[in-house]
Amino acid sequence: MKIAKYIILLLPVAAMLSGCTLERVSYEEIYKENLYRNDSDVQKSVTGLYELFTTGWGKFYCADQWGYVICTDMTTGQLTSKWQNQGYQAFYEHRWSETGSDLATQFSQKIYPQYKELTRIKNTIDDIAAADITPAVKVQAIAEAKCLYGWIGYIMYDLFGPVPLATDEARKNPTAYIYIPRLSDEEYTAEMISMLDDAIEDLPWRNESWGHVTKGMALMLKLKFLMMNHDFEAAEPVARQLYEQEGNVYALLPDYASVFTKSNARNNEIIHAIPAGESNPNYWITQTTWGDVPGYEGENWATFLMQWSFYDSFEENDQRKNTIVAEYTSTTTGAVVKRGAGNLQYGCCPIKIGQDPDRIGSRGTTDVIVFRYADVLLSLAECINENNSGPTQEAISLVNRIRNRVGLADLTSDKTANKVSFNTAILNERLHEFYCEGLSRSDKIRHGTFVSDSQTQYKDSQSDWYKVRFPIPSSYINESKGIVKQNDGY
């Protein structure tokens, strides 16, 4: 049993957020003894729990090397960096270790401490449950908090496996030094799914406050947990519950590129998105684009580029390539910038989200999509294939819908001949459909190609079987006097 030390402090809740969307506003510092006196207090407190799921520097969905999405697509070889001598290859060569100084190890050290947010959410749930407020507001607030608990739990589990979950005893004794076991994979997943099931029961399909979680978001997180653990029998009904909402809540838009544009924000393919704006900027264009690309001029750093090897894996007529800049005429020099030279020497620009007329300097305003309906179709197809030991016509049709939307023909018979070939086709489709959306790492691990692809593609790869999980930072192991046990292999 793995153990971790927990020190739980009752800290003031600062920077409360507005209840309309996740746009940030400033509030006076609110202390625990003053909280939960009315519905508004509770709603502000819950909105404050969304802070970690924003796009600012150091947050889960920031477009920098410490962000969850960038890490995902760097580790799978979709992305590289123009800064070839800055150590970014540590991600796709899987160089991270327990005590290393490379960027990938630093990522692990920066993101692991966020597991403590799980305790804060549980404490918030307890406080809301005890508050004398409108019953409907209480139910909604607790459901949202439980879904956010599952969201943090999902990200932590994807990266590190089970992380410590504070017991009731530890939370009741916030100043005590208490050592808490890391649960087994089964126990941890059960805890998360239990919280998500409660959220699913009480959340609406549509939330009036854009950017706040919904029933669909909770179902997606449950689906992800089940599929990460290869429990496809339990996952298929969850995928079907989402699939049944097509035409009512969700839809597959006819044009791929339009899903990600500012002008088509809040479209019906989006299951969950993080609102971006002046106070919560999206830095994606700045980080993935050169400043002389037509339509994207501005304060651009082009830190992260798509590896040419991944670009070449798209089929020739795949319209998804239209969201990637692989050649352009410079607005600065008027010259044509081509592959392998100048700004496109190391990779192309995975812009994807389209032009942003409201972007000021580096600060973009296009929402960040977390989950969308296309994922439901491909996940359902994968579950069907696993549960039937091979593809059915329904499963094949689901994948073909994704392909047909981007101008590709139906899958050929050799790709649907059996369970293995169809699974390979599904993974290939997922990598291209969801590039730069933070799903590729989990997808490759589930399909068993995460380690082997790194070893095959990069001669200096240090990948191995255990690299499917990041190491627990050594400081947490040392702090516990050896009670904390490292992930296997390190």
Q: Whole-angstrom Cα distance, residue 253 to residue 319?
A: 14
Residue in the block written with tokens 């940030």: 24
DSSP per-residue codes, 29-51: -B-GGGSSSSHHHHHHHHHHGGG
Q: Whole-angstrom Cα distance, residue 234 to residue 152?
A: 21
Burial pattern 313-337, b for ≥16 Cβ within 10 A else e, equals ebeeebebbebbbbebebeeeeeeb
Q: What share of the chain is helix, strand, coil (3-state, %, to 5)?
A: 45, 10, 45
pLDDT, tens only, 254-300:
999 999 999 999 999 999 999 999 889 999 999 999 999 999 998 99
pLDDT, tens only, 3-24:
444 443 333 333 333 334 554 4
Handedness of CA 394, 216, 201, 149 (dihedral sign): positive
Mean pLDDT estimate for the chain: 92
Helices 419-433 and 440-447 sit at what angle, rounded to 10 degrees? 170
Amino acid 32: pLDDT = 55
Look at phi and psi of residue 272 and say left if phi exceeds 0, alpha if psi is from -120 to 50, else beta.
beta
Name the token pair of 417: 């001949």
The letter for the amino acid at 237 is: P
Query: Parallel, antiparallel, or unpaired for β 368-372 and 336-337?
Result: unpaired
Q: What percent of the chain has pLDDT over 90?
A: 84
Intra-chain end-to-end CA distance of the chain, in Å: 17
∠ Cα 305 252 325 (to 5°): 20
Task: Please check whether residue 68 is in contact with residue 438, taking contact to mean a CB–CB distance below 8 angstroms.
Answer: yes
Amino acid 34: pLDDT = 58
The letter for the amino acid at 370 is: V
Q: Which domains does the chain have, with CATH numbers?
A: 2-229+470-479 (1.25.40.390), 232-270+311-317+371-447 (1.25.40.390)
The model carries a pTM of 0.93
Task: Please check whether residue 159 is in contact with residue 469, taking contact to mean a CB–CB distance below 8 angstroms.
Answer: yes
Name the token pair of 313: 């894996």
Q: Whole-angstrom Cα distance, residue 96 to residue 92?
A: 10
Query: pLDDT averaged over consecutive 10-residue blocks of the chain (490 residues)?
Result: 40 37 43 73 94 91 94 96 92 95 95 94 96 96 98 98 90 81 93 98 96 98 98 98 98 98 97 94 96 95 97 98 98 97 96 95 96 99 98 98 98 98 98 98 98 97 98 86 87
Q: Whole-angstrom Cα distance, residue 376 to residue 484?
A: 37
Look at phi and psi of residue 354 and say left if phi exceeds 0, alpha if psi is from -120 to 50, else beta.
left
Q: Whole-angstrom Cα distance, residue 269 to residue 277?
A: 21
Q: Whole-angstrom Cα distance, residue 289 to residue 310?
A: 17
Task: Please check whether residue 15 is in contact with residue 48, taking contact to mean a CB–CB distance below 8 angstroms.
Answer: yes
Amino acid 13: pLDDT = 38
Bridge partner list, 180: 4
Q: Whole-angstrom Cα distance, residue 443 to residue 449?
A: 9
Task: Please check whether residue 256 is in contact with residue 320, taking contact to mean a CB–CB distance below 8 angstroms.
Answer: yes
Q: In Å, what is the CA distance from 291 to each residue of 282, 285, 295? A: 16, 10, 9
A 10 A CB-CB count for 486 gives 15
Task: Please check whether residue 351 is in contact with residue 375, taking contact to mean a CB–CB distance below 8 angstroms.
Answer: no
